C-alpha cells in the first residue's frame, strides 16, 4: 500500500493534518486530521509499507497486542481506501 500522490502530511500548531496538493486538490476538498497513531501509520504508508510491516512497527512503537494493532490498521487503511487516498 502507498499513499496516493498529491497528499501531504503537515504539522499545524498542535494538529497533524493531511492536505491535498496539485491535481489531488481537484478531487478532494478539505483536509484530514490525524492523531499520533494515524500520523505514525501515514508515514509508514508514504514509504510503501504493507500491513505486516505496519503491524511490526506498531508492536515495537506502542504497547499494544498484535490483534489490536492489526484491527486498528485495517480500520485506518479501510477509511483511507474508501476516500481514494491509497494506491
- In this prediction, residue 30 carries a pLDDT of 87
- In this prediction, residue 58 carries a pLDDT of 98
Burial zone of 41 (CB within 10 Å; 0-12 exposed, 13-18 middle, 19+ buried): buried
Q: Which of 37, 29, 30, 33 is nearest to 13 (CA)?
A: 33
From edge to edge, which strands make up the β-sheet containing 7-12?
7-12, 15-20, 32-34
The pTM for the full model equals 0.93
For the chain, the structural domain boundaries read 7-82
- In this prediction, residue 5 carries a pLDDT of 93
Euclidean distance between CA atoms 57 and 6, whole angstroms: 25
- In this prediction, residue 67 carries a pLDDT of 98
Q: Is the Cα torsion angle 68, 43, 83, 50 positive or negative in sign?
A: negative
pLDDT for 12-70, tens place per residue?
999 999 999 999 988 888 889 999 999 999 999 999 999 999 999 999 999 999 999 99
Q: Is the Cα torsion angle 47, 50, 59, 20 positive or negative in sign?
A: positive
Amino acid at each position: 500500500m502507498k499513499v496516493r500522490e498529491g497528499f501531504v502530511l503537515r504539522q499545524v500548531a498542535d494538529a497533524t493534518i493531511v492536505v491535498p496538493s496539485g491535481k489531488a486538490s481537484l478531487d478532494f476538498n478539505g483536509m484530514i486530521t490525524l492523531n499520533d497513531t494515524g500520523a505514525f501509520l501515514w508515514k509508514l504508508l508514504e514509504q510503501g509499507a504493507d500491513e505486516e510491516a505496519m503491524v511490526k512497527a506498531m508492536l515495537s512503537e506502542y504497547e499494544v497486542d498484535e490483534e489490536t494493532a492489526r484491527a486498528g490498521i485495517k480500520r485506518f487503511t479501510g477509511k483511507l481506501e474508501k476516500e481514494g487516498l491509497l494506491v
